[in-house]
Amino acid sequence: MLTIAWDVDDVLNNLMYEWFTKEWMAKQPRCALKYADLKINPPHEILSTSLDEYLGSLDLFRSAKYYQQMRPVQEILEWFRRYGKNYRHIALTAVPAKAASFSASWVFNNFGQWIRTFHFIPSKRKGEANPQYDNDKIDYLQWLNRADILVEDKEENIRSAAKINIKGVLIPRPWNSARCTIGESLRLLENLSDRALP
């Protein structure tokens, strides 16, 4: 049975969109940008703010009720309902240590029927000192040596995963070059899975 590693934020959910519309725009009503304008992640330069201010705002959103109230990406939830039982699934996210429990709770509340394990790489934050076991998700996946496919929104992670023989599926977001729909990305996931079977 193949194992799929799923990024959480902006793959299983729409964190950036939810944060941008409910947190950032609520406090910056004169901002003329739209979600589609966030062509870089992190988008602090596009938003004319500092990285620390952006991360602080995002972390505040994660700790507030809005994060737990986010709905899963509907197409991905439907994919799990249809195909989830055919694979093993793990969640793998980069999130600050203080927010990992919020993320894990959201994953298990929404995808716990299929995703049984939650893994995170601590995102760096000022004032936090965590032991660094892995530099990034790919270091972690190489150590774990269990994932066959990675589903991600960051192209650099897909490229790095390919170097350790993990196939990748890129979920389209404004900050990446995917020019397909989420449904088309999920069909690619099915094609990769079929080709990977013995």
For 47-65, write each residue's pLDDT tens digit: 999 999 999 999 999 998 8
Is 100 in the same domain as 172? Answer: yes
Q: Is the pLDDT of residue 25 over 90?
A: yes
Q: Domain tally for the chain?
A: 2
State which amino acid sits at residue 184: E
Q: Are 53 and 97 within one domain?
A: no
The number of beta carbons lying within 10 Å of the beta carbon of residue 163 is: 9
Which residues are registered as beta bridge partners of 168? 150
pLDDT at 126: 83
- Please provide residue 171's backbone torsions phi and psi, each rounded to the nearest 5 degrees: -85, 125
Domain-terminating residue out of 68, 83, 107: 68
Per-residue model confidence as pLDDT tens digits over 102-115: 999 999 999 999 99
Residue 198: pLDDT over 60: no
pTM assigned to the model: 0.94
Spatial neighbors of 144 by CB under 8 A, at least 6 apart, are 119
pLDDT higher than 50, residue 197: no
Q: Sign of torsion, CA 73 78 79 85? A: positive
Q: Which domain holds residue 99?
A: 3-14+71-196
Examine the domain organization and report whether 40 and 75 are in the same domain: no
Quote the pLDDT of residue 112: 98
78 token code pair: 């439907």
Q: What CATH number should be reported for the domain holding residue 174?
A: 3.40.50.1000
Residue 192 has what pLDDT?
80
**Among 68, 89, 108, where does a domain finish?**
68
**Residue 94: alpha-carbon gap to chain centroid:** 8
Out of 68, 87, 108, pick the residue that ends a domain. 68
Q: Are residues 47 and 7 in the same domain?
A: no
- Which has more confidence, 127 or 133? 133
Residue 174 neighbours by CB under 8 Å, 6+ apart: 35, 36, 37, 38, 39
**pLDDT tens per residue, range 156-173:** 999 999 999 999 999 999
Give residue 145's region: left, alpha or beta (phi > 0; psi -120 to 50).
left
Query: What is the rounded average pLDDT of the residues 83-96?
Result: 96
Do 27 and 45 lie in one domain? The reply is yes
Q: Mean of the pLDDT values across residues 116-133? A: 90
